[in-house]
Amino acid sequence: MKPSIYNSYIPLDEGISFIYNAFSDKTVIFRQEMPEDKSELLSLPIESTLYTNLVDSGCIVDESVDELQNLKDAILEADNNVSSYTLIVNPTLNCNFKCWYCYESHITNSMMSDETVDALIMFTGDLIKSNNDLKDLNLSFFGGEPFIGYSKVVKKLLTRISGICSQKDVRFSTHFTTNGYLINEDRAEFLKDYDCSFQITLDGHRLQHDNTRSTKDGKGSYDQILRNIMLLTSKGMNVLVRINCTVDNIDSIQGILEDLNMIPEYCKKRISFDFQRVWQDSNKDPDGLHGREFSNKIYIMLERFINKGFAASSVLFMKGFRNSCYADKINQMTVNYDGGVYKCTARDFNEKNRLGRLCNDGTVLWDRMHPDKRYEAKFSDPNCHRCRIAPLCGGGCSQMSFDRPHSDSCPMGYSESQKDDMVLSRFKHIHIDIPKYLKI
């Protein structure tokens, strides 16, 4: 037997520590002095509860186990699921807001043409006919602001592609990444029949949000977006509220909870929250994205939301390789309004990043790089192969791996203390109701 290479040993309080295994995503509370030489854990009595827990949690593994290969196999299995397909569509790159942190170059008057809409429908029909293993198709709208293209693009794609899926007994679902401002009663009534879910962003409470996210005529948007979140949930649709956190707005987020706390229970259960730190804001933090002080503030807010009956999560409590980026999936494609084909939506939709083009006959012409090259790049850095948090981080997504040359240091720039903070955050997320006497 041997200690797992994916163990982290973290002190909690005097005489109390825990061992976290990033591959199994399990922890073992250690209520005695942690040995400096971790191999001494192998000397524990085999019949002891502690030794049994260490084995069951993957913190101690058989000598013959190739943990790195097991992780590589697990990553491949997670990303190569052929039973589902995600088609992301940008009806437009135009937007009714201009948020300071937005990385996209908005293009006024951009709109997907009828020819490209028809090509998308043909692509989807051919995809379903040629893939007998396909059980689920998700049509996801992105942008720009996708509701700017609601009448011209969204409604046509929804009705036609859902019809194709119905004929072939493929489950159809829809998702919108939207600022939520342009939703109204008629649109919500139409969308409720298409298994729709939404991600809608808030930038702090009313004042902080409106300072960041006002309309082009200077009108605040917080109240309208909140009303639309209530509207969607009242019609049976789920909304993930992404809260973009910064040093300036983190303390105001309590106000969002107070605004939503009194809504009916059947609406509340359809709203979940995801706390995401704005990456430009984290650049000003000497401890980076996972700085302990800021992470603790997010954890406090998250706990308050959970205590009020909402589901809540955060990128700071990393989910690991089993929930890898959508663009890492082999069965995923992003089509821009102009027919350009991409994988990642977190890069500019321009010629440099374009991988191919959707032709009018519904076929895809790869004109720069086949996605296979991205998959080969993922988790290819030798530094990741010997890292204790590799199952949590995965060396970053395939886009990052492809963009970044290998070096002698962590490709994500994490120090050992930052890794400890990430593990502690994950531990807190797993044990959200852990007894307070542990003082984490």
Task: Write the DSSP string, 132-172.
Answer: TT--EEEEEE-SS-GGGGIIIIIHHHHHHHHHHHHHTT-EE
Tell me the domain boundaries of the chain. Answer: 1-65, 81-366
- Output the pLDDT for position 299: 81
Query: Beta partners for 332?
Result: 86
What is the reported pTM? 0.86
* Residues 6 or more apart whose Cβ sits within 8 Å of residue 179: 95, 96, 97, 145, 200, 201, 213, 221, 225
For the record, the structure tokens of 327 come out as: 């663009």
Of 241, 216, 248, which is closest to residue 226 (Cα–Cα)?
Answer: 241
For the record, the structure tokens of 402 come out as: 């492809």
- Output the pLDDT for position 46: 93
Q: What is the pLDDT along the chain (440 residues), one digit of tens a residue?
A: 999 999 999 988 777 889 999 999 999 988 877 888 888 899 999 999 999 999 999 999 999 999 999 999 998 888 888 999 999 999 999 988 877 677 667 788 899 999 999 999 999 999 999 999 999 999 999 989 999 999 999 999 999 999 999 999 999 999 999 999 999 999 999 999 999 999 999 999 999 999 988 877 788 999 999 999 999 999 999 999 999 998 889 999 999 999 988 888 889 999 999 998 887 776 666 565 556 777 788 888 888 898 888 888 876 666 677 778 888 888 999 999 999 999 888 888 888 889 999 999 999 998 765 666 767 778 888 999 989 999 988 877 777 777 777 888 888 888 898 888 888 878 877 775 544 434 44
- Output the pLDDT for position 141: 98
Query: How far is Cα 246 from Cα 298, in angstroms, rounded to an integer?
Result: 10
For the record, the structure tokens of 245 come out as: 């956190």
Q: Quick one: DSSP state of residue 297?
A: H
Query: How far is Cα 214 from Cα 204, in angstroms, rounded to an integer?
Result: 13
195-232 b/e with 16+ CB inside 10 Å = b?
bbbbbbbbbbbbebbbebbbeeeeeebbebbbebbbbb
- Output the pLDDT for position 101: 72
Of 176, 117, 173, which is closest to residue 146 (Cα–Cα)?
Answer: 176
- Taking domain 81-366, whether its CATH number is 3.20.20.70 is answered by yes
- Output the pLDDT for position 370: 61
Q: Which runs of consecutive H residues, i.e. helices, occur in 198-277?
A: 206-212, 222-234, 254-260, 265-268
